[in-house]
C-alpha cells in the first residue's frame, strides 16, 4: 500500500458524525474534576471506620447491583485491614454466586504488529524501529490455530490486531473465518476454536456490522487511561488514537452495530489507579444507561517492559501488588456481574493470588510474538512482542494448578451459540442463573479436555475436581442431573461439543 493510499485510509477512519453523536453538550461522560473530588477523602472522616455504611455497600454488591460512583469511592478509601478482608470475602462470594468456581481460559493470537499509532508505552508504536513488523497470512493464521486448537487444546482465542490498513476490517473478517474453519484430530475427538474474541482498534458502525456478521465474539477495546490530560500526553494528537472521544465511544458503536458483548479495560500505571477504577465504573454505568447492558468483561493490565520503550520501565504512576489487588477487589464489588480478565502479563504467583479476589478468565500457553505458536523457539523475543509476559505457564500447568485449589477450568462456549448474550446473559448473570448452565457445560468441556489433552498427573488432579462438581450438581440441580449425566457419558465415549 502506497503512502498516498495510507493517508486516504487515515482520513476516512473517523467519521465526525459517529464520534459526536453520543456527546452531551459537547462533552463525554468522564468528568475528571468530579472523579478527583470523590477520590479526596474528607480530612475528618476515615472510610475504614464507617463500617455500617461499607457493609451496606457490600450487601448491594452481593445483590449483584452496580455500585454508584460515590459508593465505589467509599470502598477505595478503605484502609482498615479487617474491613479490607471483609471486602475480599464479599468479592469471592459474588464471584461464586455469579460464576461459581469456574475459570475460563483462552489464548492471545497476534495477527499483526504494524500500527499507525505512536503510543508512548507500547512496544508496537510506529516510531519503534527496534520492532520486527509483519502481518500473518491466512496460511500462517491457520498454522497458529492448528497449534492452539490441536496441540494445546484451546477453545477460545482473543485475536489481536494493530491499527493499520494492512489489517483492516476485511482482513479481520477473513482471519476469523480461517480460525473457525480449522479442525484438528485429537486423541478422542476434534480440536477447534469455538469462540474468537477480538482486540482491535475502534471502528465505524459499518465496519463493526461486518464483524458481527462474520461471527465475532466479544469486541474488546481498552481506553488505556480515562484521565484526559494523561491520555493526551501518551497518545500524540496527530494519530487516530490521539482522539479520546472516538475511542471512548467505540463500545456505543459496537452495540449499535449489533455486537452483544463488549469488553473494556484500563492500562494500570499510566495514571492514578483509583482514578482508572472510577473511569471503568463510569464506562460501565454509561453503557447500562444507554443500552441496558454493561461490559461483558473488564480487563486491567499493568504496564510491562517492552523493547526500546522507556515509559514501560519508568512508569509515572506505578501500582504496587497490594494496590493492584485492591483495584481488582473493588472492581468486582462495583461491577459485580462482569467477567474479569487477568492476563499473563502478571506473574504466576500474582495471578494465583487474585483468583479468590474475583477473577473469572485467564490466558495460558500464551505467546505474544507474531507467528510465535508455530515457532520452535521457547524463549520470548522482545523485538517481536508488544511487551514481556510474566506468566509463561502452559495451559496444562495452569489447569493443574487451578485443580489443586479446587477450581475447574471451563472451555464452555455454549451460551454464545444458544443466544445467551447481550441483555439476556446480563439478566441471567445478575440472578445467578447463568452459573447453573455454565456449571453443567464446564464439567462436560473439562471432561473433553482431560480426555483429549491431559497428561496422567493432570488427569488425576482433574478427576478430583470433576467428582466434586458432579456431587454438587446432583445435590443442587437434581431435576437436570439425569440429562447432565447422559451428556457426560456420551462425552466420555468420544462425542464432542455437547452442551445445555
Residue ranges per structural domain of the chain: 104-391
Pairing of strands 184-185, 190-191: antiparallel
pLDDT digits (tens, 9 = 90+) for 148-187: 999 999 999 999 999 999 999 999 999 999 999 999 888 8
Burial of 84 (0-12, 13-18, 19+ CB in 10 A): middle
**pLDDT the model gives residue 98:** 92
The Cα diameter of the chain in Å comes to 66
d(CA 436, CA 368): 34
pLDDT at 355: 96
What CA–CA distance (Å, rounded) separates 211 from 214? 5
Query: 3-state DSSP call for residue 157?
Result: strand
Closest CA to 339 of 425, 275, 266, 406: 425
Q: Using CA atoms, how far apart are residues 298 and 328, in angstroms rounded to an integer?
A: 10
How far apart, in whole angstroms, are the C-alpha atoms of residue 472 and residue 469? 5
Query: Helix H segments across 100-152?
Result: 138-146
- Could you tell me if 210 and 177 are in contact, meaning their C-beta atoms sit under 8 angstroms apart? no
Residue among 48, 55, 158 nearest 108 (CA): 158
Coil, strand or helix at 358:
coil
Residues of the chain with pLDDT under 70: 1-3, 5, 42-49, 414-437
In three-state secondary structure terms, 385 is strand
Distance (Å, rounded) from C-alpha 15 to C-alpha 207? Answer: 12
Segments in 201-334 forming alpha helices (H): 205-214, 228-234, 244-248, 250-256, 273-291, 321-334
The Cα–Cα gap between 29 and 363 comes to 31
Is 259 exposed, middle or buried (CB count within 10 Å of its CB: 0-12, 13-18, 19+)? Answer: buried
Q: Using CA of residue 400, residue 402, residue 405, residue 410, what is the dihedral sign?
A: negative
C-alpha distance from residue 98 to each of 77, 95, 356, 389, 466 (Å): 26, 5, 14, 29, 20
**CATH superfamily membership of 104-391:** Aldolase class I (3.20.20.70)
Entry pTM: 0.94
- CA dist., res. 426 & res. 297, Å (int): 11
CB-based contacts of 479, cutoff 8 Å, min separation 6: none
Amino acid at each position: 500500500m502506497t503512502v498516498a493510499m495510507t493517508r486516504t485510509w487515515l482520513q476516512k477512519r473517523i467519521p465526525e458524525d459517529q464520534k459526536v453523536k453520543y456527546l452531551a453538550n459537547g462533552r463525554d461522560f468522564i468528568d475528571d474534576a468530579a472523579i478527583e473530588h470523590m477520590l479526596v477523602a474528607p480530612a475528618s472522616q476515615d472510610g475504614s471506620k464507617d463500617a455500617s455504611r461499607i457493609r451496606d455497600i457490600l450487601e448491594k454488591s452481593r445483590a449483584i447491583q452496580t455500585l454508584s460512583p460515590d459508593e465505589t469511592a467509599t470502598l477505595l478509601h478503605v484502609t482498615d485491614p479487617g474491613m479490607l478482608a471483609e471486602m475480599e470475602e464479599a468479592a469471592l462470594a459474588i464471584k461464586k454466586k455469579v460464576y461459581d468456581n469456574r475459570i475460563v481460559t483462552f489464548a492471545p493470537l497476534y495477527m499483526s504488529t504494524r500500527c499507525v499509532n505512536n503510543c508512548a508505552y507500547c512496544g508496537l508504536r510506529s516510531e519503534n524501529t527496534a520492532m520486527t513488523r509483519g502481518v500473518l497470512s491466512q496460511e500462517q493464521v491457520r498454522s497458529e490455530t492448528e497449534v492452539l486448537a490441536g496441540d494445546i487444546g484451546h477453545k477460545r482465542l482473543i485475536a489481536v490486531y494493530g491499527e493499520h490498513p494492512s489489517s483492516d476490517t476485511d482482513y479481520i473478517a477473513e482471519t476469523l473465518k480461517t480460525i473457525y474453519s480449522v479442525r484438528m484430530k485429537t486423541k478422542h475427538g476434534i480440536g477447534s476454536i469455538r469462540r474468537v474474541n477480538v482486540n482491535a482498534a475502534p471502528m465505524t458502525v459499518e465496519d463493526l456490522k461486518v464483524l458481527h456478521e462474520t461471527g465475532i465474539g466479544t469486541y474488546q477495546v481498552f481506553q488505556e487511561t480515562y484521565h484526559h490530560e494523561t491520555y493526551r500526553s501518551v497518545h500524540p494528537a496527530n494519530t487516530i488514537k490521539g482522539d479520546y472521544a472516538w475511542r471512548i465511544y467505540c463500545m456505543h458503536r459496537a452495540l449499535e452495530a449489533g455486537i452483544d458483548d463488549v469488553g473494556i479495560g484500563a492500562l494500570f500505571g499510566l495514571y492514578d489507579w483509583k482514578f482508572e477504577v472510577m473511569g471503568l465504573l463510569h464506562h460501565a454505568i454509561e453503557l447500562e444507561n444507554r443500552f441496558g447492558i454493561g461490559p461483558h468483561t473488564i480487563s486491567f493490565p499493568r504496564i510491562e517492559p517492552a523493547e526500546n520503550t522507556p515509559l514501560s520501565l519508568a512508569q509515572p504512576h506505578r501500582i504496587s501488588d497490594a494496590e493492584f489487588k485492591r483495584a481488582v477487589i473493588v472492581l468486582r464489588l462495583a461491577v459485580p456481574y462482569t467477567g474479569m480478565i487477568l492476563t499473563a502479563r502478571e506473574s504466576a504467583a500474582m495471578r494465583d493470588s487474585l483468583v479468590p479476589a474475583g477473577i473469572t478468565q485467564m490466558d495460558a500457553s500464551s505467546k505474544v510474538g507474531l507467528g510465535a505458536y508455530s515457532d520452535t523457539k521457547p524463549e520470548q523475543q522482545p523485538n517481536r512482542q508488544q511487551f514481556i509476559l510474566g506468566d509463561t505457564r502452559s495451559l496444562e500447568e495452569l489447569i493443574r494448578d487451578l485443580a489443586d485449589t479446587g477450581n475447574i477450568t471451563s472451555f464452555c462456549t455454549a451460551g454464545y451459540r444458544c443466544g445467551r448474550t447481550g441483555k439476556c446473559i446480563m439478566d441471567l448473570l445478575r440472578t445467578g442463573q447463568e452459573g447453573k448452565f455454565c456449571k453443567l457445560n464446564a464439567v462436560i468441556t473439562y471432561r473433553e479436555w482431560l480426555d483429549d489433552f491431559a497428561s496422567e498427573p493432570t488427569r488425576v488432579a482433574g478427576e478430583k475436581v470433576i467428582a466434586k462438581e458432579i456431587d454438587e450438581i446432583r445435590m443442587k440441580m437434581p431435576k437436570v442431573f439425569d440429562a447432565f449425566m447422559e451428556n457426560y457419558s456420551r462425552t466420555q465415549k468420544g462425542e464432542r461439543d455437547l452442551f445445555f
